[in-house]
Amino acid sequence: MRVIIQKDYDKCAKWAANYIANKIKVARPTAAKPFVLGLPTGSTPMGVYKELVNMFKSGKLSFQHVVTFSMDEYIGLDLDHPQSYAHFMFENLYNHIDIKKENINILNGMTKDYAKECATYESKMRHYGGVNLFFGGIGTDGHIAFNEPGSSLTSRTRVKTLTQETREDNSRFFGNNINKVPKTVLTVGVGTIMDAEEVLIMASGASKAQAIHDTIEEGVNHMCAASALQMHQHGIIVCDDAACSKLLPKTVDYFKQIENLKFEGV
């Protein structure tokens, strides 16, 4: 696992955006072989999306041959609902870049056939030859996408019930009214994310410190879905000082040292 420790949120967002942009450019995607990108919602990716939009606007990056898969969606919220994840993605990214509509994949929270919706999502990913890079945030309980504690680490796209903690965390998007936060969601599985060639998780702020400690310093455990990253060959966590505040000093020093040596070309 690669752990990139940055001073603050802005630096993490820049790092993640540059990483994603570079991966797209290096892949030289075409219509026949697009770059497949998994994407999250939440506060964490907002700065990253801003950077990516700026890169597009300044002509440095194109999404013409990028195919995206959103991580998750609330059940019962449609595309026009201001808190739906689909709406979030259009508002914060898709409306501002040159991505083709047919290349945007979003789970339909209004579906009447959950099993079919989830199976189709998985088969679409396979159709493209899998996801090149899955970018994600992390919940305070260590969840990735909406894989709450206890999620199988080999899980696929499916229905999940949210924990009280996650509904409380996310109530800030619903006028601080937890009763308005849906109880169930559609989400890609931990296994779905782990199948990607690369996984990049970003974490910022002290509220994520326990999750980052559990992810990096504790064992692989379904009570912290992000800990599955320990089993991934190309897992990266980019986090700020506050999110690292529960890591041992020697852990922080070691990961910083590795990155400094890389910078020196070792």
Rg, Å, the chain Cα set: 18
Fill in the amino acid letter for 38: G
Question: Cβ atoms within 10 A of the Cβ of 26, count?
Answer: 9
CB of residue 33 to ligand GLP, shortest distance in Å: 27
Contact status, residue 232 vs residue 2, Cβ threshold 8 Å: no
Q: Which stretch binds ligand GLP (CB under 6 A): 39-47, 104-112, 117-125, 222-230?
A: 39-47
43 binds ligand GLP (CB under 6 A): yes
Task: Pick one of 42, 47, 182, 235: the residue that binds ligand GLP (CB under 6 A).
Answer: 42
Which residue in the set 3, 4, 12, 44 belongs to the binding site for ligand GLP (CB under 6 A)? 44
Q: Which of 51, 117, 148, 195 is catalytic?
A: 148
Which CB, 71 or 77, lies closer to ligand GLP? 71
Note whether 40 binds ligand GLP by CB under 6 A.
yes
Asked about 143 being catalytic, the answer comes back as yes
Among 3, 20, 52, 138, binds ligand GLP (CB under 6 A): 138
Please tell me whether residue 139 binds ligand GLP under the rule CB under 6 A.
Answer: yes
Q: How many residues does the chain have?
A: 266
Range 147-186, binding ligand GLP (CB under 6 A)? 166, 170
> Could you confirm whether 141 is annotated as catalytic?
yes
Mark whether 148 is an active-site residue.
yes
Catalytic residue among 141, 169, 195, 214: 141
Q: Which of 238, 195, 198, 194 is nearest to 216 (CA)?
A: 238
User: Are 207 and 244 within 8 A, CB to CB?
Assistant: no
The single residue listed with the structure tokens 């697009």 is 34
Residue 143 to residue 44: CA distance in whole angstroms: 14
* 102 is annotated as an active-site residue: no
Element counts in the chain: helices (H) and strands (E): 8, 10
Cβ neighbours of residue 210 closer than 8 Å, sequence gap 6 or more: 140, 142, 246
Q: Closer to ligand GLP at the Cβ: 71 or 216?
A: 71
Quick one: which H or E segment has residue 237?
A: strand 235-240
Residues that bind ligand GLP (CB under 6 A): 40-44, 71-72, 136-139, 145-146, 166, 170
Give the residue numbers annotated as catalytic, written as ranges: 72, 141, 143, 148
